[in-house]
Amino acid sequence: MIDYNFDWSVITRNWDRFLEALALGLGLAVVSLLIGCVIGLAAAYARVSGNKWLSGPVWAYVEVIRCTPLLLLIFFIYFGLPEFGIYFMDKTQSFVLTLSLYAGAYMSEVFRAGLSSIPRQYVEAAKAIGMRPWQRQRWVVLPVMFRITLPSIGNNLISLFKDTSLAAAIAIPELTFVARQINANTFRVMEVWLTASALYLATAWLLATLLRQVERRYATIR
Amino acid sequence: MADDVLLRAQGVRKSFGAVEVLKGIDLEVRQGQVVSLIGASGSGKTTFLRCVNLLEEHDGGEILLDGDPVGYRVEGGRRRRLSETAISAQRARIGMVFQQFNLFPHLTAEENVMLGLTKVLNKPKAEAREIATHWLGRVGLAERRGHYPYQLSGGQQQRVAIARAVAMEPRLLLFDEVTSALDPELVSEVLGVMQGLAESGMTMLVVSHEMLFVREVSHHVVFMDQGRVAQAGTPEAVFGNPESERLRSFLGRFHGMFGMV
Ligand SMILES: Nc1ncnc2c1ncn2[C@@H]1O[C@H](COP(=O)(O)OP(=O)(O)O)[C@@H](O)[C@H]1O
Ligand SMILES: [Mg+2]
């Protein structure tokens, strides 16, 4: 350890690859979050619908996803689905599908809590001016819920971003995978892992700061 | 039967579970009239207003607005519940102002007034904004149009809520104890707005504990007691000649406070 001679040239030489890999990870997280929000919203409405044929299967989906390690889900969908004759996906699509389903389960819980925390008075005020059911959802319930759940949505984005490192397990060239590759070729263990960690840390911190700004912008509900 | 009757309730009944809260309410509101509902807490005033605006469904009797039954239509002698769309359309003809203001928290004062205009009445944005500006001006809040509810006092929020309701040009405006949640010093600004509306000919059904206001502004006062109309008449008759012991004792509570009746 004491004898370790740092040689940062390995980082500067591969800087573009680091950044590309980082961007890929961020992209995977953002896309998965967006799809996950759509799934989560549909699932949340199913859960609060009071229809057990809708809420039952959705409950099962949420529980299965929440109780299964993410890495296992990634393997199952990437290696397992072809066994069932489903081949249409390359590994990136397969990973996005996995992470979206994963995000969807967590977001459905966030949105379900959000939906049930919206005071009845707002809906009644919308009724009183003659808004139809879907208009009440679109223009009152959803915007209010979005603002209430914004901090949780942000936290989920940061978690998902960190979870993209698991994509390395199926050789998707995001940051963890690329760092391991560069490491294998150069044996600059410390430089490479320190850099990768610093990039994760800085990005997550930047995301958190950015999200706080967005939250402040929308903080009209007290 | 005068044909300028806007709202007619006949034998309206409503139960929550086994508890009958409205036990046959008869009541009329004529075009341009202010009718006030008074009565002790729990006597069913809120429930009645909510039935008129279809936030609750009454179980018996009928409520007619402009001669149309509220909430259902009669088909071959049988009642059929209206579709959600038709119910929404009926609600759009009735405005309601709530005790807790219920402003949309994610919208500014102006946007609160505009939402129904653009989404329900399908008015273009520019026209909706003009109407909002007009009504926010009428309630004395032109300067605050860009404020969010949390940036407004209770009295200001309630005035925005009134602007939001009248901007829809409803046939009838319902007020449910709209000053009860306000600090005492903010009550008069809201009552002032309501008085202005009354003078401009708005038809209003008002639940209020502000007896001076009720006496001054109402054409007709209805005293509700335990789910029934116990006495109804002109303010002079109801306040000056309370027939029942219950009305006398109800009004008696306001004696010391206002030195009136
Ligand atoms: N949603 C409800 N479920 C059960 N009981 C209710 C409900 N709403 C009102 N009540 C009861 O109905 C009675 C009349 O209430 P309300 O109409 O609010 O009276 P008021 O407005 O005159 O104070 C009260 O006893 C109240 O507890
Ligand atoms: Mg009440």
Q: Which domain CATH number covers A191?
A: 1.10.3720.10
**Which among B172, B190, B166, B170 has a CA at the least distance from the CA of B180?**
B190
Asked, for residue A7, whether it belongs to a domain, the answer is no
**How many contacts, defined by CB atoms under 8 Å, are there between A and B?**
77
Asked, for residue B242, whether it belongs to a domain, the answer is yes
Residue B240 to residue B223: CA distance in whole angstroms: 13
Asked, for residue B38, whether it belongs to a domain, the answer is yes
Range of the domain at A156: 16-218
Ligand closest to CA B25:
1
What is the rounded (10 degree) CA torsion for A145, A146, A149, A153? 150
CA distance A131 to chain B (A): 6
Q: B18: which 2 tokens?
A: 């086994």
Helix (H, G, I), strand (E, B) or coil at A48: helix
The CA distances from residue B163 to A143, B168, B179, B213, B220, in Å, are: 22, 9, 15, 20, 24
Asked, for residue B70, whether it belongs to a domain, the answer is no
User: What is the CATH number for B185?
Assistant: 3.40.50.300
Q: What percent of chain B has pLDDT over 90?
A: 90
Residue A12 to residue B243: CA distance in whole angstroms: 95
Distance B44 CA to ligand 1 centre (A): 6
**Contact residues of A toward B, CB < 8 A:** 121-122, 124-133, 135, 139-140, 143-144, 147, 218, 220-222
Q: Residue B84 pLDDT more than 80?
A: yes
Number of structural domains found in chain A: 1
Asked, for residue A193, whether it belongs to a domain, the answer is yes
What is the pLDDT, as a whole number, of residue B261?
A: 41
User: Which pLDDT tens digits describe chain A residue by residue (222 residues)?
Assistant: 567 888 999 999 999 999 999 999 999 999 999 999 999 999 999 999 989 999 999 999 999 999 999 999 999 999 998 888 888 789 999 999 999 999 999 999 999 999 999 999 999 999 999 999 999 999 999 999 999 999 999 999 999 999 999 999 999 999 999 999 999 999 999 999 999 999 999 999 999 999 999 999 998 887
Residue among B95, B119, B164 whose CB faces A135 most closely: B119
Instruction: Give the side-chain half-sphere CA count within 13 A for A27.
Output: 12
- Where do the H-state alpha helices sit in A118-188? 120-128, 133-136, 142-163, 175-186
Q: Residue B258 pLDDT more than 80?
A: no
What is the pLDDT, as a whole number, of residue A1?
A: 58
Q: How many CB atoms lie within 10 A of CB B110?
A: 22
Q: Residue B35 pLDDT more than 60?
A: yes
Asked, for residue A102, whether it belongs to a domain, the answer is yes
Number of structural domains found in chain B: 1
The pLDDT confidence band at residue B2, using thresholds 50, 70 and 90, is low
What is the pLDDT, as a whole number, of residue A8?
A: 92
Considering only CB atoms, which chain A residues are within 8 Å of B85? Answer: 132
Asked, for residue A81, whether it belongs to a domain, the answer is yes
What is the pLDDT, as a whole number, of residue B73?
A: 86
**Which among B130, B129, B100 has a CA at the least distance from the CA of B115?**
B129
Ligand closest to CA B39:
1
Do residue A124 and residue B84 have CB atoms under 8 angstroms apart?
Answer: no
What is the pLDDT, as a whole number, of residue B256?
A: 57
Please measure the distance between the N-terminal and C-terminal CA atoms of chain A and give it in whole angstroms.
Answer: 53
Dihedral sign, Cα of residue A167, residue A173, residue A174, residue A176: positive
Range of the domain at B145: 32-44+90-253
Ligand 1 pocket residue status of B16, Cβ below 6 Å = yes
Asked, for residue B117, whether it belongs to a domain, the answer is yes
Chain position carrying tokens 């259902």: B72
Asked if B103 contacts B164 with a C-beta cutoff of 8 angstroms, the reply is yes
Q: Side by side, which strands form the sheet with B172-176?
A: B94-97, B172-176, B204-207, B34-38, B220-225, B228-233
Spatial CB neighbours of A127, under 8 Å, sequence gap ≥ 6 = A136, B53, B54, B55, B88, B91
What is the pLDDT, as a whole number, of residue B3?
A: 65
Ligand 1 pocket residue status of B57, Cβ below 6 Å = no
Asked, for residue A96, whether it belongs to a domain, the answer is yes
Considering only CB atoms, which chain B residues are within 8 Å of A132? Answer: 84-85, 88
What is the pLDDT, as a whole number, of residue A4?
A: 82
Do residue B115 and residue A132 have CB atoms under 8 angstroms apart?
Answer: no
Q: What is this model's ipTM?
A: 0.93
Asked, for residue A11, whether it belongs to a domain, the answer is no
Asked, for residue A53, whether it belongs to a domain, the answer is yes
Do residue B95 and residue A220 have CB atoms under 8 angstroms apart?
Answer: no
Dihedrals phi, psi of B214, to nearest 5 degrees: -60, -45
Do residue A220 and residue B148 have CB atoms under 8 angstroms apart?
Answer: yes
What is the pLDDT, as a whole number, of residue A219?
A: 86
Q: A185: which 2 tokens?
A: 């070729």
Residue B44 to residue B37: CA distance in whole angstroms: 10
Ligand 1 pocket residue status of B43, Cβ below 6 Å = yes
For residue range B149-173, list pLDDT tens digits in order. 999 999 999 999 999 999 999 999 9
Q: Residues 146 to 175 of B: which have CB under 8 A from any A CB?
A: 148-150, 161, 164-165, 168
Asked, for residue A56, whether it belongs to a domain, the answer is yes
What is the pLDDT, as a whole number, of residue B255?
A: 67
For residue range B112-139, list pLDDT tens digits in order. 999 999 999 999 999 999 999 999 999 9
What is the pLDDT, as a whole number, of residue B259?
A: 47
